[in-house]
A and B are shown apart, each in its own frame.
Chain A
């Protein structure tokens, strides 16, 4: 797939501000950080979840639990991907039973990843509440899924691709809008 850069939607600073706001919203909605866990969806949801946990700790003095969720075994779209999927480990080092869990991902698009994440999480136990936070919501839902916390709403066309880059993974930071070169 040949991608052509179209625009920078968020730079590093704007990303930081959005996540700060989301951290506050999470605390507000859940009336504190007790019994709270942030579960990042592999791959880019993970550093975002860790960052949010740090922010919440700064604001509330309480550190929420952090987990990493791999949803490969729950996906319904594997025939469409070209290569053998690499399954990664899920690390949820706490009991989800009765917990208030916020699933974290970088982009919300069709909603299928979120659905898979919900199934995976529920197979681990029975949380009290599951909420969903994303950095970017780009529209084009194929399932009735919505995010509780959104960094930025960005309507896009299906020919466009949103690339979220994080320091720890990509070496740089920003939300880029790309286009499939035709």
Chain B
């Protein structure tokens, strides 16, 4: 099957190729401006065509949480967000801690034919933090990453053994780094705002302490440890310190931690409740600065959908998590790239080659031979976020109604079009 995508502005994390026609053949990129017969012709309309994004951190809620999201809706949402590959998190019901569950997820995802699914598997049985899972069997079944994300691994000894074993098998461990005893029942960042609002707070030190522990064990064991959703200045400073010493650690930040601060809680809407919490503007600014200095390896969405009813509970009972995969790129493009705070090439790097490097995967570029995982981005028209048309089951969003630019209008996986935006983008 040969496809031509005409009139595309080709950009990847390494290079801006300018305008060209891109040829795809049998699921891979063939080359530019080659000519010859094609089976399918598509017109990119001069828009930016770039490798589809990779998300190392998505919650698809299957098995067990299908009321919030499932593979079908989640992978469709990912494609709508311009993502071609996602790593699903293992904190489901039951947890993904047996090889059989991994196989099932892999098989199901293939049949769905949307964004590619690479499942992660739990570090400990049931996320209990007590006993290690069978990393080798899980890897053989298709797991690409080990993580207890959602729950911090409290026992340092267990973390050490997990790291040693993961290193042996060449697996990356992703950590949710928060010290539970300092975090307590905090629902938002502990600080001036939380004290004024009378809500229990979760101090940045809880994150910093655990990041230190996780980085130290990475250094000690030589395992590749990926620190998920670094949310604070203090936490990021710890990562930087270890990186300077050459520790095998990588760091991720989320779109919401780069764009929102804790003052949003003035409205008392649990829609903003997330772990780790949204911090102060000083933290947000520092994270962005760290991104620009090359300290951050990837942007992961931490897409964490819940039902609207759950997010309408009181602040303590409402679950942690923001569903954001469909608006992540437009949000970052509009609030950071358009305002000059972040270069587009760096943003693409953090969504493409950065995550690939963390996982030791082949870097996604537009070179011939690479898989045709692509997304077409319309960077010119601003449009209001309409959560009601989300592919995700969580049809509500903190950014609902906000005008954003940079909407993915088509996404390809292995040369096949898996997403196309309905209708024309209506300018606001």
Report A-B touching, CB under 8 Å: no
